[in-house]
Amino acid sequence: MVGFTLRQAGYDVAGAVDGQDALGQVGKEKFDLIITDLNMPNVDGIQLITAVRKLPGCSFVPILMLTTESQAEKKDAGRKAGATGWIVKPFNADQLIAVVKKLVK
pLDDT one-digit tens code per residue, 6-48: 999 999 999 999 999 999 999 899 999 999 999 999 999 999 9
- Using alpha carbons, list the distances in angstroms from residue 103 to 24, 29, 40, 84: 22, 18, 23, 9
What's residue 60's pLDDT? 94
What's residue 97's pLDDT? 96
Does residue 105 surpass a pLDDT of 90?
no
Calpha distance 38→63 (Å, rounded): 12
What are the tens digits of pLDDT across the range 37-96?
999 999 999 999 999 999 999 999 999 999 999 999 999 999 999 999 999 999 999 999
* CATH class of domain segment(s) 2-103: alpha beta
Tally Cβ neighbours within 10 Å of residue 104: 11
